[in-house]
Amino acid sequence: MKITVLGAGAMGSAVAFDLCNRPEVTRVRVCEARPAVLRTFRAWLQHPALKTYEADARDERALAPLLAGSDVVVSCVAPEHGPRLAALALTAGAHYVDLGGPEASVESTLALRPLAEQRQRWVVPNAGFAPGLVNVLGMRAVGRFTRPIAARILAGDVPTEPREPFSHRLSHSAEKLLEDYTHPVAVLRHGRVEHCPPLTGLEPVEFGHGFDTMEAFYAAGGLDTLAHVLQGRLDRLDVKTLRWPGHADQMRFLLDLGLADRTVLDVRTHLTYRDVLLRRLRQRLGGDYRDAVLARVEVDGYPTDADSRGDGAPADGATRTLVYELVDRYDEETGLSAMRRCTAFPAAAVAVLLAQGAVEGGGAAPPEAVIPPEPFVAALAARGITVTERWLDEPVAA
């Protein structure tokens, strides 16, 4: 099994690390355009199955021969390159996986479905944490019900030692943070897709596991595909981001001042207010830190007969709530943050399942629509990313 990873930054390096430690993967090729990043990666990860190349994802002529012979291509570069790289992977006869991006980019990638069907290969964007792992858990939970009614998904990454005033750090990029906080969020109301403004719907959440009082609010984390996949199956779906208390108010204050606007500051510069804010966020919230990833999926409804006879769900015909929870922390042994683990390892798991032929045919779809949840969850559990399950008698998601 040969898998090519595009990008050797924080997420690409973690994807390569996981793939190199899977015995079924015989060759991992990593392409990175930045020499300094590539040198750092080579010093950090050395493995007999690993080969690295200095290659720019924007240079199709140079990239095409490097993709030849790959079973899967995993893109960990900027999401705007996704549609073009997915087409290039299909041309090379490979499946394609990426970590997701803005809705327009994902839609363009999914528009490659006819070509993917013709090539009998899969294009699977949004295969990171949220979107990605969380989406698959949502579909897995919904599948445990004969008649699911409502679902609530809470997910986020937080520093284990928060500092005021923002009580947050950058796990991906400042650009992604602002995208999440400035785009509407897809939810379900009465079975139909609606959109909520970001940074609204603020509520306290008692999460536990050392994160007793958190806050949750709407933020566009890229889970819009889940609302469309579940449209008509659920009456209500809520998807919110988890953060330490006070973070949403601080970010709303900055955005209400117009500091995320794309308006140029004045005639003597090309910089926008957003450019300046991005720079300051990188300076103040960037850098290394210990983190944790939290996720909770709650689904209300009528359980299937099998679930109503066991797992704590009584067979009395009443509605029950299934709760999945995930808590992952910074790995001191490997130096991988929880967010790198929970983003990169799901993408690697999807890539391996596709290469193994676990998904028949070909096409383009997000992971929640095509990836079998049981082997996916098992692959993550083998990497120490475990999901707990419990049943409650009282509905909570609605």
For residue 397, what are its two tokens? 């998601």
Question: CA–CA separation, 113 vs 87, rounded Å?
Answer: 10
Angle between helices 82-91 and 103-110 (to 10 degrees): 20
| Span 364-390, average pLDDT | 95
pLDDT per residue over 347-367, tens digit each? 999 999 999 999 999 999 999
Report in angstroms the alpha-carbon separations of 258 from 122, 150, 170, 274, 300.
41, 36, 21, 8, 39
pLDDT per residue over 78-92, tens digit each? 999 999 999 999 999
pLDDT of residue 318: 81
Are 74 and 97 in contact by the 8 Å Cβ rule? The answer is yes
For residue 292, what are its two tokens? 């944790």
| Span 58-63, average pLDDT | 92
- Domains of the chain, each with CATH number or no CATH: 2-125 (3.40.50.720), 133-338+381-392 (3.30.360.10)
More confident residue, 100 or 387: 387
- Least trusted range by pLDDT, from 126-130, 173-177, 243-247, 249-253: 173-177
Confidence of residue 394 (pLDDT cuts 50, 70, 90): low
For residue 369, what are its two tokens? 């629509």
Are 165 and 257 in contact by the 8 Å Cβ rule? The answer is no
Candidate ranges 305-309, 380-384, 393-397; pick with highest mean pLDDT? 380-384
pLDDT per residue over 115-149, tens digit each? 999 999 999 999 999 999 999 999 999 999 999 99
pLDDT per residue over 277-313, tens digit each? 999 999 999 988 999 999 999 999 999 865 654 444 4
Q: How many CB atoms lie within 10 A of CB 94?
A: 27
For residue 332, what are its two tokens? 């001191």
pTM to 2 decimal places = 0.91
Confidence of residue 397 (pLDDT cuts 50, 70, 90): low
pLDDT of residue 313: 46
Confidence of residue 314 (pLDDT cuts 50, 70, 90): very low
pLDDT of 162 > 60? The answer is yes
Share of the chain above pLDDT 90, in %: 84
Q: What is the mean pLDDT of the chain?
A: 92
Question: CA–CA separation, 251 vs 243, rounded Å?
Answer: 12
Tokens 């500051």 locate to: 265
pLDDT of residue 316: 55
pLDDT of 270 > 80? The answer is yes
Contacts of 23 (CB under 8 A, 6+ apart): none
| Span 326-353, average pLDDT | 96
